[in-house]
Amino acid sequence: MDVTGNHGANAKHDAAPIALDRLRKVYPDGTVAVGELSLEIGSGEVTVLIGPSGCGKSTVLRMVNRLIEPSGGRILIDGAEVTAADPVQLRRTIGYVIQNVGLFPHQTVRANVGTVPRMLGWDRRRIAERTDELLELVGLSPEQYAGRYPHELSGGQRQRVGFARALAADPKVLLMDEPFSAVDPINRGRLQDEFLRLRAAVRKTTILVTHDLQEAIKLGDRIAVLSDHAQLQQYATPAELLARPGNDFVERFVGEDRGIMRLSVTPIPRDGLRPVAEAGEGAPEVPASATLREAFGAMLAAGRGAVVVRDTDGAIGALTAADVQVALASAAVDSAA
């Protein structure tokens, strides 16, 4: 299946880099929502904006698709200034996913997903094919769900439809504003996993707003930590951010759990493994691609002090609880280098 949507004439859009250059927004009542923000987002990367409530995250996002007009500065997508584009045309090249999805209640799932392709004048057959393809991609069988209305879906399913709709016309850029926050914790985890799976298949330059640090760490290639007026406090990979908070604000923001959270962004050190026998008889096993969190979790679940690490050729070594601590310490040194 061609999940990129690049099968039809004129449908091809590669992911595009985004640059925010001294971006500013002062609302008419004088509120300075965004003081001056500069940020570069690489093509195909997921950047997460995170920060306290009211710090300007949504304002930044909504300036990128011109739902809000900037008061100053520039936004460049693929080198072209966003403010030079027609806002309606622009929005057709940008997928937008919001908290409560905003599906049209009186339209079927099929019609909702086909919204932008219809506006772009695609023929019916092509729209139908693309809709089926996307529904499958987000894990909803078209036979079962295409004819339903939004009120006949669960919150998580609605979110999936919203995501399919955002991807329908193969946008260059995806903007996601708290996309999973209206969903219960279990479905939220599932949707996050789904997002990770999808983004491996469809690489879109994505800006995702959240106030959930776990989510930021799980989904972001890079995280921008903002304080009031969208002041950039640190822009770093999840591993760097947790190992080396750039200042007191970020240190307070990531909080005391950052040591634990680092487990989930640090891979098992293949070079630092012990002989397999040191794990002891019946030790739990984890794949070499696992993180320290998964390895440590397997130890705790089995009540053991070590795991056997396996790759496709078989067992490649043992990792103990003490090794986990050493690996974390050396990963912190690496990320400082």
| Inter-axis angle of helices 155-167 and 124-137, nearest 10 | 130
Rounded least distance, CB 54 to ligand ATP, Å:
4
Q: Which of 1, 9, 29, 333 binds ligand ATP (CB under 6 A)?
A: 29
Q: 114-120 contacts: CB < 8 A, separation 24 or more?
A: 114/168, 115/165, 115/168, 116/92, 116/165, 116/168, 116/169, 117/168, 117/169, 119/92, 120/92, 120/169
CB contact at 8 A, 263 and 281: no
Rounded least distance, CB 178 to ligand ATP, Å:
7
- Taking CB under 6 A as the rule, which mask of x and - marks residues 192-231 in contact with ligand ATP? -------------------x--------------------
Rounded least distance, CB 177 to ligand ATP, Å:
8
Nearer to ligand ATP, 23 or 273 (CB): 23
- Residue 118's SS3 state is helix
56 binds ligand ATP (CB under 6 A): yes
66 binds ligand ATP (CB under 6 A): no
DSSP 242-280: HH--SSHHHHHHH-TTHHHHHHTTSB--GGGPBPGGGG-
59 binds ligand ATP (CB under 6 A): yes
β-pairing verdict for 72-77 and 18-26: antiparallel
Please work out the total of residues on this chain that contact ligand ATP, with binding judged by CB under 6 A: 12
Q: Give the CA distances from residue 81 to residues 48, 73, 149, 286, 330, in Å, rounded to whole numbers and listed in that order.
A: 22, 10, 38, 48, 42
Q: How many residues does the chain have?
A: 337
Q: Which tokens go with 138?
A: 């987000």
Rounded least distance, CB 176 to ligand ATP, Å:
13
Nearer to ligand ATP, 42 or 54 (CB): 54
Q: Which of 33, 109, 174, 207 binds ligand ATP (CB under 6 A)?
A: 33
Stretch that binds ligand ATP, among 40-48, 51-59, 155-163, 246-254 (CB under 6 A): 51-59
CB contact at 8 A, 113 and 119: no
Rounded least distance, CB 39 to ligand ATP, Å:
15
Stretch that binds ligand ATP, among 49-57, 106-114, 152-160, 166-174 (CB under 6 A): 49-57
Contact positions vs ligand ATP (CB under 6 A):
27, 29, 31, 33, 53-59, 211
